[in-house]
Amino acid sequence: ILSTTKSRQDKNTRRKRRRALSFLAFLTLSSRYFDLSRSLRLPRATRIKTIIMSTTSFAQKTILRGNALKSIKNVKSARSQGAARVVRTMASNTTLPIDLKGKKAFIAGVADDNGFGWAIAKALSQAGADVILGTWVPALNIFETSYRRGKFDESRKLSDGSLMEFAKIYPMDAVFDTMDDVPEDVKTNKRYAGNEKWTVSEVAECVEKDFGKIDILVHSLANGREVAKPLLETSREGYLGAISASSYSNIAMLQKFGPLMNKGGACISLTYLASERIIPGYGGGMSSAKAALESDTRVLAFEAGRKWGIRVNTISAGPLGSRAAKAIGFIDDMINYSMTNAPLSEKPLDAIEVGNTAAFLCSPLASAITGSTVYVDNGLNCMGVATDSKSIPDRS
């Protein structure tokens, strides 16, 4: 009888010991899962749920088997499996958003709702930024009237159904830095009548007074009065005018707005493949202006980065049938050429694709990107020959 009683006591002791060790293994796993999930910055509710789901089945199996020592040896293996579960949970419940909430962006060159400037404004608004516009003075009245009358309402719709709003729209002509630079015939031109403080320096002062510091500067400007002329027929005035309006205006804007920008801010401009490839018909000094813009982007990235801690990039956009582009006269041919010969063939470029790229480049996600020319053209820039050329066999 004494022997039987002692045997039962020993059996109960061993059973309690196994349960204690199993519970210890359970606590060890729970603690390590909690540390891992916390390092991944998961929500507290997700951490607790993951811990319970990942450890309960393991602990139950361990207790039923009664093999506590083996369970402790399996902690390392279970920890790896649990880590994979935590990562899968994180992937299914989180995203990598472009968050520009609280940021202020100034965009120069928006005068309608079908160009790259508008698309950039929409993408920045979608990301949460407050958008301020600078619109070419002669186009300001028509633009504001259309905006007020709701003609842009369909284009203003954001993903949540709300309409994009502009914090303010300023008159602006980026060809002139100060009023001393404005010739008399422009000052008295009726298209400028009723507007004031529209030179680059004056607009910068108004923005600082109304909004303080800004975070994003967008140059969406280009103009060449002799763009339809071959370079050999372009006048000095026409050539320098294209450089002034399309390239130097970017420098002037950064000169005046740079001191108003918060450290970590970003400056974006728009360029075109004609800067480095021959595009017959894109003349009047415009190809030279785009080449200068890209070169300036690299230099300004260094200078503005060292001086103000801001980034400077440019987007080389593919052909788009915007109102401004139609002035060239052969934009439809360029669109067809791109859709035939680009790596992503039969895919027309959408302006919002450029807008989304700009939003990325202006966000903290692109904090190490500066001095770059980023191509958004369905890959057309990669091509060396035209796949539809009659002199080259089809190798697609």
Active site residues: 272, 282
Distance CA 285, CA 279 (A): 12
H/E stretch holding 106: strand 104-108
**CB of 323 closer than 8 Å to CB of 115:** yes
Please give the span between the terminal C-alpha atoms of the chain, in angstroms, as a whole number.
92
Please name the amino acid found at residue 331. Answer: I
Closest by Cα among 253, 184, 197 to 221: 253
**CB of 349 closer than 8 Å to CB of 319:** yes
Distance CA 203, CA 171 (A): 8
Residues for the chain: how many in total?
Answer: 396
Helix, strand, coil percentages (3-state) for the chain, rounded to 5, are 55, 10, 30
**CB of 151 closer than 8 Å to CB of 140:** no
